[in-house]
Amino acid sequence: MTKSEMSNRAESILNNNANLFKTKPETYQQQFSGIYRKRLQTLWPVLAKTAGTKWISSNNKLSIIDKISNVIEYQESVIIGTVFLDQKDKPSILEELSKSQWEDDKPLPTKYCTASQLYFLEDESGRIQISLGDLYNKYVIVTGMIIAALGAVGDDGIFIATDISYSGLSVQRKRFEFKQEALDKDHNPGFDLSSDKISENKLVAIVSGLEINNRSSEFEFKRQLLADFICGQLGSSAIPSSRISNLIIAGNSINSFPQDLGSQNQEESDNFDHIYEKMVLLGLEKTNDVKFQETLNESKSEFEILDEYLSQLTNCLDVILMPGESDPTSSVLPQQQISVDIMLPKTHSMNSLHPTTNPAMFEIDNIRSDDY
């Protein structure tokens, strides 16, 4: 790569929604009722429109009941509400608290869904039990869903549903728009790999599993090759690395517990014994040479190695750092971002390092990426 190519690194606009999956301090003041109420208020008009298209358009006698408490017996109608499943095998915290300490623990069930579970539909005005019949095998219904049900109330006060409707998916944002000529049979609407166009495209590199470990140098050479290529010190003009505007490191940058840790420690012990034998032969076993002792005892941590490695990359381009299974962060999803201010002080000072969560959502030149 020429000096001019190295200086003309492709630039892109990065919008990192780092706060989207960040966990907030736990609070128990807010109950679920507010969430269900807001969800019902938002989806009620959507389901009313769906029910009108699906059922009422072909039967003018049908009507949508505004409140579940206003439903009329034997009159076919449409009701909209929040689903609640009464499952006897589902664990209950109230039962745990009321249970005597002398009672034996019940064996955990293999599943919570059974044929005896009861379905309810509720809103602010009340709750009504619904019977799905054969719809049980046709639709997937869980607690918290907002649905519309078509049917009528029977003698026992149970709403007999003959059909149900979901609210559907929200309107998705258009990510790409192509002109008509771009949709021709012989034209690829995506990335143009032709030799005369590749130098004009911006690239995003994705890598995972750097597996940095201070006890093993197994992937050190490969990692350095990657850094040399991205920074323009390696490669050819066929795919110029200067077109890479962003690097996504998708987890597992650190591996503190390699599988061959035992054999690696044994190898280090053998190497130390060999060095000590040479020192004895040279009469240096009791040396006080500070420089020699520092060299002998020098052992960088995984974070220092990663910090130095990332500092090479962040000098060249924007780096998005995601955590993975072996990285020092939370193990449950969403994984929180790596504490770069503590673990990576050298790279943290660079504005081109963008730590984020796993999963993560960010935009590069208005193209959204959802990574896991």
Q: Domain coordinates of the chain in residue numbers? A: 32-89+111-165, 199-368
Task: Name, in order, each residue with C-beta under 8 angstroms of 312's C-beta and a sequence gap of 6 or more.
Answer: 227, 231
Say yes or no to pLDDT of 185 above 80.
Answer: no
The Cβ-side half-sphere exposure at 362, using a 13 Å CA radius, reads 26
* The pLDDT of residue 266: 52
pTM, two decimals, is 0.56
* The pLDDT of residue 39: 93
Phi/psi of residue 361, nearest 5 degrees: -135, 125
Is the pLDDT higher at 126 or at 9?
Answer: 126
- Measured distance CA(190)–CA(253) in Å, rounded: 31
Q: Domain 32-89+111-165 belongs to what topology? A: OB fold (Dihydrolipoamide Acetyltransferase, E2P) (2.40.50)
- Measured distance CA(51)–CA(57) in Å, rounded: 9
- Measured distance CA(357)–CA(354) in Å, rounded: 10
* Residue whose pair of structure tokens reads 């004009």 in the numeric block: 200
- Measured distance CA(83)–CA(147) in Å, rounded: 7
- Measured distance CA(80)–CA(147) in Å, rounded: 6
Most confident of the following: 164-178, 184-198, 255-269: 164-178
Say yes or no to pLDDT of 58 above 50.
Answer: yes
**Spatial contact of 153 and 76, defined as CB atoms under 8 Å apart:** no
Q: What would the mean pLDDT of 69-80 be, rounded to a whole number?
A: 94
Give strand pairing partners of 321: 249, 355
Most confident of the following: 33-47, 97-111, 176-190: 33-47
282 pLDDT tier (thresholds 50, 70, 90): low
Q: Which of 157-166, 296-305, 320-329 has the lowest mean pLDDT?
A: 296-305
Q: Domain 199-368 belongs to what topology? A: Purple Acid Phosphatase; chain A, domain 2 (3.60.21)
Joined together, the tokens standing for residue 23 give 């966990």
Say yes or no to pLDDT of 16 above 60.
Answer: yes
The Cβ-side half-sphere exposure at 260, using a 13 Å CA radius, reads 11
Is the pLDDT higher at 351 or at 99?
Answer: 351
Q: Which of 125-139, 212-226, 229-243, 309-323 has the lowest mean pLDDT?
A: 229-243
* The pLDDT of residue 61: 85
Which letter, b or e, does each residue of 266-291 get, where b requires 16 or more Cβ atoms within 10 Å of its Cβ?
eeeeeeeeeeeeeeeeeeeeeeeeee
- Measured distance CA(208)–CA(161) in Å, rounded: 50
